[in-house]
Structure formats: C-alpha cells, structure tokens
Amino acid sequence: MNETIGVEETVGVTETAHIPQQRGELLLDNAVRYAEERHWDVFPGTWLEAADSRERCSCGNADCASPGAHPTRPDWANQATGSGAAAHRLWSQQPKASILLPTGRTFDALDVPESAGFLALARLERLDLPLGPVTCTPDRRMLFFVLPGAAVKVPDLIRTMGWTPSSIDLVARGEGHYVAAPPTRIGGHGAVQWVRRPTHANRWLPDADELISPLAYACGREAAAERARRA
C-alpha cells in the first residue's frame, strides 16, 4: 500500500520545510489518497483567488475569517465522502478547492498553539508514546489526530489535571467541526503541513487520554507565561 501521503508538505520539529504552491493536481491526488488509504472522509472547500494583486477567498467576502479553507455550502457534512472515486470527481470539477476533513468520524483533533504543540511533541516522542498524524497550520496552530470521542471527554480530563478548560488554549474538534488538510493554503500565508505525516505505522490513532497530559502541561505553561508577560 502506498503510504507517501503529503511527503512534500512535511515540516520537521526543528526546521521549516518549503511551502509548496497549491497546485490542482496535488490537491486532487491528496484528496483521493486520504479517502482511499486512510479511509478519511473528505470534502472540497473554498480556495484562494488572485484579486487586485492579492489573494482573496473564493467566497467573495473580503473579511472572510478563514480565506481559502472553509465549506462552500451549509450541508457540507452530507457532502463529505470516503470514496476515492467521488473525491476524484469533486476535485476534477474544482481543482483549486481546499481539502477539508470532518472531525468526529474517523478521528477528532486536539488543537493547540504551535509553540505548545512542539514542546508536547518532543516530550511525547521522548516517552515513546503513541502518536497519530499531526498538522501545522499557517496561523501557528498544531492539530493532533486522535480517536473519535475526544471532544466529549477532553474538558473533564483537563479539569482532572487541575485546570479549567477556559484557562488553557487547548480545543478538541469533534462532531460538527472540520480541519484543513495539506496541501491546503490558507489566507495567502502558506500551506497546512504535516509535522507527522500519515503512515502505516500511525494508522491506529491514540486516545486523547494518552496525549492530554503533555499537551495540557505545555498549554498551561504557555498560559502562565502569557499572564506573567501581562502582569
């Protein structure tokens, strides 16, 4: 089985990789691979268009909150497909469309600040804890893919560790949400990249319980540092 998904979009922990252009064939190929090789549902979102020497979201809203990477229709959840053939058809119709993955189906995502994410990732790797795919977004967020159900239990897990969920910047994305997948470009700032790309070795995702301690600790440390700066 081909496990070369998104090799061009992988960034190392200590170095930043070249951010590729969002070429239509690259989007189509990756969308099909996500569906066929990972059995992830995919659906096409908006894309970036050149306008007045700048890039704007295809939705036409000059103040778009997520330019180039949000659903194009309100029933996006019903549009998502796990069929490689259907994905090929959808991106053939609009080759520039972003690749969006609904959460709460085959995976949830733990969304943290990039600095906290790299700190937690280093600790997780030192402890040899199980890890799934991890992405890094142009707005400096990291998303750790975990088993579905994380969004429901993460708030209680955080409370058990002594924090209130609102006090640290750790968000669990589950049913009703979605994430952008590499090589989607967002807002003209760059592309979503793999920090840990999908491979056969990480096909079986960890439970949120296995990652929450390092992630919450790193987010708590960052929150404390921010409060100290403001004092």
In contact, 172 and 109? CB cutoff 8 Å: yes
Q: What is the dihedral of CA 72, 78, 79, 81, to 10 degrees?
A: 140
52: left (phi over 0), alpha (psi -120 to 50) or beta: left
Looking at residue 52, its amino acid is D
| pLDDT attached to residue 50 | 84
List, for residues 183-223, the tens digit of each pLDDT value. 999 986 799 999 999 999 999 999 999 999 999 999 999 88
Q: Is the confidence at residue 41, as pLDDT, over 60?
A: yes
Q: Is the confidence at residue 6, as pLDDT, over 60?
A: no
Q: What is the distance between the alpha carbons of residues 193 and 142, in angstroms, rounded to a whole number?
A: 10
**Per-residue pLDDT band at 59 (split at 50, 70, 90):** very high
Q: What is the dihedral of CA 75, 80, 171, 114, to 10 degrees?
A: -130
| pLDDT attached to residue 1 | 39
| pLDDT attached to residue 24 | 54
List, for residues 61-71, the tens digit of each pLDDT value. 989 999 999 99
